[in-house]
Amino acid sequence: MRRPVLLVVAHGSRDPRHAATVHELVRRVRARRPGLRVETGFLDFNVPSVGAVLESLDAEGVRDVVALPLLLTRAFHAKADIPAVLAEAPPRLRIRQADVLGPSPLLLAALERRLNEAGLTPADKSSTGVVLASAGSSDPEAIAVIADVAREWRHTGWCAVRPAFASASLPRTEDAVRELRELGCARVAVAPYVLAPGRLPDRIAQGAAGADVLADVLGPSPEVAQVLLERYDAARTPLLTALGA
């Protein structure tokens, strides 16, 4: 039996860097799992839409799909938008929605990779405070997850780690930077906990003006690609079991 198609469901953005980063990440996923068919659909702004991809797969005779939200937390898009779009798919498709990407130790490794690429070394950790800067959400579950990630990351040796948000929630990046300065950290780094460039990541960068180091977005890092495959594998196993495979 063929493996289910992996459909990566991205949010979409008017910023062309967003789609370019999503496509680069998908190429990395394909390279790590030769033979796995990976498609990309967007909820808004970019093409193809999720619905258009599902219609195309159905027309080709595909029957099994794992839809993977390209999201770091279970907020509104994962709980409402994506299920609504999938519910409108052709009825012959068997679709299983995978879990969102976070939290995961691999994402913490990706954050560390980006900070190292920005100039920090392991020797800097004990004297460096880090702002874990996410896009933000009005969903309490998503906010709690970001706070938990910050606490977990702090235990790996950083001077301090503070969560911050570009929208919907407080504190803002600049407020967290100021707090770490007042705490006495020798240097302050901002680590964007976002997957692709866009308006909110740009807002994070503006808020990082008072920091010593600003890391890049997670983007197509190998760790993120591996998390996608782990979420796909976890979702496809019950699907194949139900089919008797």
Q: What is the pLDDT of residue 1?
A: 61
pLDDT at 245 over 60: no
CB atoms within 10 A of CB 129: 25
Residue 54 above 90 pLDDT?
yes
Element (H, E) at 169: none
Mean of all residue pLDDT scores within the chain = 95
| 134 SS3 class | strand
- pLDDT (0 to 100) of residue 76: 82
Q: Which amino acid is at 172?
A: R
Beta strands in 59-154 (DSSP E): 64-69, 94-97, 128-134
Q: pLDDT of 221-237, one tens digit each?
A: 999 999 999 999 999 98
Would you say the C-alpha torsion 165, 211, 201, 28 has a positive or negative sign?
negative
Q: How many residues does the chain have?
A: 245
pLDDT of residue 240: 56
User: In this prediction, what percent of the chain has a pLDDT beyond 90?
Assistant: 92
pLDDT at 132: 98
Residues linked to residue 68 through DSSP beta bridges, in sequence order? 8
pLDDT in tens, 119-169: 999 999 999 999 999 999 999 999 999 999 999 999 999 999 999 999 989
**pLDDT tens digit string along 68-114?**
999 999 988 899 999 999 999 999 999 999 999 999 999 999 999 99
Cβ atoms < 10 Å from Cβ of 2: 10
Which H or E run contains 241?
Answer: helix 222-242
Query: Confidence band (pLDDT; 50, 70, 90) for 239?
Result: low
DSSP secondary structure letter of residue 49: B
C-alpha R_g of the chain: 19
Mean pLDDT of 5-33: 98
**pLDDT attached to residue 75:** 84
pLDDT value for 237: 83
pLDDT of 77: 83
What phi, psi does 100 have (nearest 5°)? -65, 170
